[in-house]
Amino acid sequence: MFDYRNLPTGELMIGDTVLTHGMRVLLDTRPRVWEDDRGRNVYAFSGLVLNVEEVRVAGVVPIGWLYQEPNTGRVDYTREPRWTVQGNDLATWTVEPGAVAVEA
């Protein structure tokens, strides 16, 4: 049996694999952090989608969204498939057991 954890966004770390929308997203960047209008920290991690073929078959997430270039919206299928995991500590995420060492 797997020992999945549920963590608030602020407790996620580089190397965690987050399960969201049928994707396995390996967090491999430091989060961008800012304060919302209620004074809560908001975190946004960019991560590598590890199971892109499963995502393609499931059709839950438009596959082009995983290949958009930041700030332009242009789709580039030569890029790695990426997803942003974002939220404050009111949002919780299911995380696979064990973290992968990732250099940021």
Q: Which of 79, 24, 33 is nearest to 51 (CA)?
A: 24
- The answer as to whether 76 is a domain residue is yes
Number of domains in the chain: 1
Q: Residues 49-97: pLDDT tens digits?
A: 999 999 999 999 999 999 998 788 899 999 999 999 999 999 999 999 8
Report yes or no on 104 lying in a domain: no
Give the single-character DSSP code of 54: H
Please provide the size of the chain in residues: 104
Q: Containing domain of residue 23, as a range?
A: 5-95
pTM listed for this prediction: 0.89
